[in-house]
A and B are shown apart, each in its own frame.
Chain A
Amino acid sequence: MTTPPLPPDVGPRPTGPSPRGTLAAERTALAWRRSALALLAGSVAAGRLLSVPWGPGGWAVTAVGAVLAVVMLHAARRRLTASRLAAPVRARPWSGRRPPRGAAPPPGGRLVTACAATLVLLGGAAVVVVLTWPS
């Protein structure tokens, strides 16, 4: 595998994480936060609309969406601490060496998968709303 070397302003610095790495982590945290907010708004709307055909049971979708939104907000914070991975000490938590304080391993795809699955669930709710809406 050949990875081209990073330009000097991008790579880890002797004194701390590169600004670009920190900013990338910040953008990612913000992306998770606004997605969590959008998901929360969407699932509240879905619950309200589903309670027309289904009664109070429709709010179950809201509960799922709200739980995931809270998890996503937590994940946003994790993404920020993950920016310390760009720190000069290249110790990764799974490498056996002591990780830098507060660093988290790149978290893998569980949350991404949960997010996609919840959106499919919301999509199912939207299908029900569209097909059962009294016109």
Chain B
Amino acid sequence: MSAPPTPDRRFPRWVYRAGAEPDARFSLANERTFLAWARTALALLAGGVALEALDLPVEERLRLAAAVLLVVLGVLTPVLAWLGWARAERAMRRGDPLPAPLGFVVLVTGVAAAGVLVLVGLLLV
């Protein structure tokens, strides 16, 4: 395949100026992965808000701590998802191995911690 005659103007430049066009299906799979993370972020936000707004019988400070933790994770997740998408797209264009996934440790630890907080808060009431 010949090189494109015009420079690639797609965003972000640091992704698309590297390497060559990968198989379209790889880019599609990368997008689906990003979207799965995006929906995870929405679920985290919904969980955090629901904890506070539904007036659940959980000890108040622990409930607030869990809600804030979930919401903070929900803000962090789309950022990590975007970075993960961009790094994977760049690696595929360059023919590099895919980078290790971002954010799994933070996500799992955070959700587990929020669960423990809610559980303890339920038992304290």
Interface residues of A (CB under 8 A from B): 1-3, 6, 20-21, 24-25, 27-28, 31-32, 34-35, 38-39, 42, 45-46, 49, 79, 82-83, 85-86, 90, 92, 94-96, 106-110, 112-113, 115-117, 119-120, 122-124, 126-127, 129-131, 133, 135
Contact = CB atoms under 8 A, between A and B. Distances in A.
Nearest to B82: A116
Given A25-B28, A96-B5, A109 B79 contact: no
Interface of B: 1-2, 4-6, 8, 10-12, 15-16, 19-25, 27-29, 31-32, 34-36, 38-39, 41-42, 45-46, 48-49, 51-53, 55, 60, 64, 67-68, 71-72, 74-75, 77-79, 81-82, 85-86, 89, 94-95
Contacts of A130: 48-49, 51-52, 64, 67-68, 71
Nearest to B25: A24
B24 A116 contact: no
Contacts of B20: 1
Q: Is chain B's binding surface mostly helix, strand, loop or mixed?
A: helix
A49 B71 contact: no
A108 B49 contact: no
Given A109-B10, A126-B48, A129-B49, A1 B24 contact: no
B106 to A, nearest CB: 14
Given A82-B24, A130-B64, A133-B53, A1 B10 contact: no
Contacts of A120: 75, 78-79
Nearest to A39: B42
